[in-house]
Homo-oligomer: A and B are copies of this chain.
């Protein structure tokens, strides 16, 4: 079983221009891949792209100077030293607040993701007084990007769109998948048998999240590199959805 396992390569794709609405992100990524690896994209490659560059290409940016905060946003912002306009955008992006404590807003987004500030982020937003929101349908964004990449390269590819989330109980953020196309985000090993004949019970691995985390390591600091190429990971083909990574509320003992 263990013989001839391939090694993985994780190649950063730096030097993309500042992405603006309407930019052809697929073309920019193909050019970057051509610079980064000899021969450019190859069959089986996975492109991991931070949501921020996707969101900016799709125009998911809000100029805070246009935002009128609600009274609730004002009170909360004042209490915790936040920008009331940014709090207002967070509330608009939220379907539900999971926790609102000690100046931290853990929100459930319209997609079902549970994360700080509903994914609204001010860093690397591309302009001052501006925040970036999550794309409305990150799976659809991944699908469109994948189709454009396949159309341009003729290769069999998968796309993962990543964001940086915190988690309970553990310090530090990790990158996770919020959209994917062309691969199954979960690798299900249940029912398989280990070397001692013990049937594995709960082994469903969130490989799309692990791919997002692996890519983060290659992207380096400060969000300056918005994409990485992963080569050598033998993923399960399929039109998976990153929504599969969201635990259904009725199954979630921590919601």
Contact = CB atoms under 8 A, between A and B. Distances in A.
A224 B164 CA distance: 30
Contacts of A113: 169
B200 A172 contact: no
Contacts of A12: 2, 5, 7
B218 A174 contact: no
A101 to B, nearest CB: 5
Nearest to A195: B124
Interface in A196-214: 196-198, 200-207, 209-211, 213-214
25 contacts: A5-B218, A7-B12, A99-B254, A102-B253, A114-B170, A122-B198, A123-B194, A123-B200, A128-B197, A168-B253, A169-B247, A170-B176, A171-B186, A172-B185, A172-B187, A173-B202, A173-B205, A174-B209, A174-B213, A192-B222, A195-B224, A203-B222, A210-B217, A217-B233, A218-B233
Given A171-B247, A174-B213, 16 more contacts: A5-B12, A8-B10, A18-B195, A123-B200, A124-B194, A124-B195, A164-B205, A167-B168, A170-B245, A172-B185, A172-B204, A172-B206, A173-B203, A173-B204, A173-B205, A218-B233
Interface of A: 1-3, 5, 7-12, 14-15, 18, 36, 99, 101-102, 104, 106, 113-114, 116, 122-128, 164, 166-176, 185-187, 189, 192, 194-198, 200-207, 209-211, 213-214, 216-218, 220-225, 233, 244-247, 252-255
